[in-house]
Amino acid sequence: GQQLNQSPQSMFIQEGEDVSMNCTSSSIFNTWLWYKQDPGEGPVLLIALYKAGELTSNGRLTAQFGITRKDSFLNISASIPSDVGIYFCAGQTGNTPLVFGKGTRLSVIA
Partner 1 sequence: KAGVTQTPRYLIKTRGQQVTLSCSPISGHRSVSWYQQTPGQGLQFLFEYFSETQRNKGNFPGRFSGRQFSNSRSEMNVSTLELGDSALYLCASSPLTNSGNEQFFGPGTRLTVL
Residues that bind partner 1 (CB under 8 A): 1, 3, 31, 33, 35, 40-45, 48, 50, 88, 90, 92, 95-103
In the complex, minimum distance from the CB of residue 102 to partner 1, in angstroms, rounded to a whole number: 5
- Comparing CB distances to partner 1, the nearer of 33 and 79 is 33
6 alpha carbon, distance to own chain's centre: 8
- Comparing CB distances to partner 1, the nearer of 19 and 90 is 90
Residue 64's CB is within 10 A of a number of other CB atoms, namely 19
Question: Which backbone phi and psi does 108 adopt, to 5 degrees?
Answer: -115, 125
Instruction: Give the DSSP letter of residue 97.
Output: P
- Comparing CB distances to partner 1, the nearer of 73 and 100 is 100
